Structure 1
Amino acid sequence: MPAALPASALLPAHAAFGTPAYGTAVLPVDPVVAQRTGRMHHVPTLVGSTHDEATLFAALIFPQPIPTQAYRQTLQGLYEPQDVDAVLARYPADGNGDVRDELARIMTDQSWACTVHDTRRELGRHQRVSGYEFADATVPVLFPDLPPFPGGYKAYHASELLMLFDFPGVTLTPAQRKVSDYMVAAWGRFARTGDPGWRADVQSLAPDAIGPTDFARDHQCGFWATV
């Protein structure tokens, strides 16, 4: 089948991260436009993420330690010159000699948490939206061959699935089992009624710490809206 577009036209889109294809019968409208304008099915929606989404990706992108003295140079390769000092001020090196954990926090906040926050805000203009954040820093790591990571992987990408499904070889602590039971009940209630059972804009889900969280403040979304 001949290509409808030349490769040169596709290359700019190839580098885009997580961008869905739209303009089809399945997804006729750009999801960003749909969220802003309400051109979608108006149904209750559960939108969430994990507290440390990007630790997994930071470890894969930067498999070797990055010393503190290389922190600024690394950020200079990621941001415009006028933004580097502001990012450094918000995310200073913690002194452990490896800044990959800082880079993971930056990636989590800018690329995951604050986009999730924006999604909830836009959808919430048209329909009921319930938010969650899985925040168990001690959740088992499902991938045994990952390299060591400063501070550990914490609540890494997709780790909330370990609370919702039984995975072979994964054993939860009693405190984690309570979180699991809570989440399974909440997800089931949401599927039945459209209401997971909490009133908070964002419910934090962690052992002995289930409750509201100031998500936008924790992830510095006000700052990232200016970068």
Structure 2
Amino acid sequence: MPQRGARSALLGRDGFMRAVRLHVERAGTGHGGLLLITGEAGIGKTSLTGYAIQEARREDMLVLRGSCWGADGTPGLSGATLDEHRTFVGMMYDAVGRPFTEADYDQALRTAFGERPAKRVRAEYPTDAFPSPALAWATVITDRMWARGTQAQHDALARHVPLYAYEFADRDAPMFLPLPGDFDFGAFHTGDIPYLFEDEVAEPLFTPAQRRLSATMTGYWAAFARTGAPGDAGLPTWPRYRPGLAARPYTQSLAPRRIGPVDYHRRHKLDFWSRLP
């Protein structure tokens, strides 16, 4: 019986074991590197990897382990923001000192959809339902392009893999892009990024409620990375996105005052857009 603490023996793998020890010794002297272990199933890749971990720990090194899902059935976490296109309307018009007018709105509708469909879109998105023509146009394109495309992507992915869908909906998210003018960007494109990754411009502007939202979102993302599902003790429930059911597929709304389900289809008028050529 081998003595406790003795080095593991891998039969016929002396050359590979020497390569592992060389990489461990180099790491111990402050030299980084990459050791790639490949080969057919059953030839001992896992055992050799275990030997590498053992050697590193023998040198009192900190070993961090990770794993990935196989190509089939890899879970997905996917979403968009509530006001995606406000970023682009703002940075081309109002936020740079060029107000988007009623005439601009009519011209944009005709250019995008043609004369007759433009009238249908204007009736569905009248400017008197919005604070400005710019926000009306931003909502049209958010719903038609971003939300419609996002739902199509979710439907396609969820047929093959476990999927969790979200919509970032903090309309008071701090604007961290260097834009000079005044514009209501809402839950803008990229507005969710500082809630997941540190940002020295946006983070100091967070309210206590936004900090709590950020903590919840990072908790979701960490749980998903660890387990393949954004569920963990103390976090609001987040069911899977399942297309084809009687009820609408589940999308999680992420906002400071409320985290929970949203009728994504209704919010973005996807029934209307499905009937428009």
Shorter-chain TM-score tier: 0.7 to 0.9
* CA shift for structure 1 position 95: 6.7
1:61 Cα shift?
Answer: 3.4
Corresponding residue for residue 5 of structure 1: none
Q: 1:168 aligns with which of 196, 200, 207?
A: 200
Distance 2:146 2:109 in 1: 18
What RMSD in Å do the two structures reach over aligned CA positions? 1.8
SS in 2 for 1:85: helix
Identity %: 35
1:113 Cα offset (Å):
1.1
Post-superposition shift, 1:155? Answer: 0.7
CA-to-partner distance for each residue in 1:117-149, whole Å, 9 max, x for gaps? 111011111111100000000010011324322
- Separation (CA, whole Å) in 1 of partners of 2:129 and 2:150: 30
When residues 214 and 97 of structure 1 are mapped into structure 2, their CA distance, relative to the original with a 3 A threshold, is: closer
**Deviation digits for residues 8-45 of structure 1 (CA, Å, limit 9, x no counterpart):** xxxxxxxxxxxxxxxxxxxxxxxxxxxxxxxx743110
Q: Which moved more, 1:62-71 or 1:192-201?
A: 62-71
Q: Choose the corresponding residue for 1:134, options 153, 156, 168.
A: 168
Q: CA, structure 1 residues 158+114, in 2 after alignment: closer, same or farther (shift >3 Å)? A: same
> Which protein shows a greater Rg?
2
Task: Tell me which of 268, 271, 276 is aligned to 1:219.
Answer: 268
Task: Determine if the alignment matches structure 1 residue 183 to structure 2 residue 212.
Answer: no
Unaligned runs of 5+ in 2: 1-70, 232-237, 241-249
Report what 1:51 is aligned to: 82
**Counterpart check, 1:209 vs 2:258:** yes
Could you tell me the TM-score, scaled by structure 1's length?
A: 0.76
Q: Give unmatched runs, 5+ long, in structure 1.
A: 1-39
Match of 1:120 in 2: 154
The 10-residue stretch of structure 1 (63-72 or 81-90) with the greater mean CA deviation from structure 2: 63-72
CA pair 191-221 structure 1, distance change in 2 beyond 3 A: same
- Cα deviation for residue 89 of structure 1 reads 1.4
| CA positional deviation for 1:106 | 0.8
- Report the alpha carbon displacement of residue 168 of structure 1 after superposing the two structures with TM: 0.9
Number of residues of Structure 1 aligned to a counterpart in Structure 2: 186
Q: Which residue of 1 aligns with 2:239?
A: 199
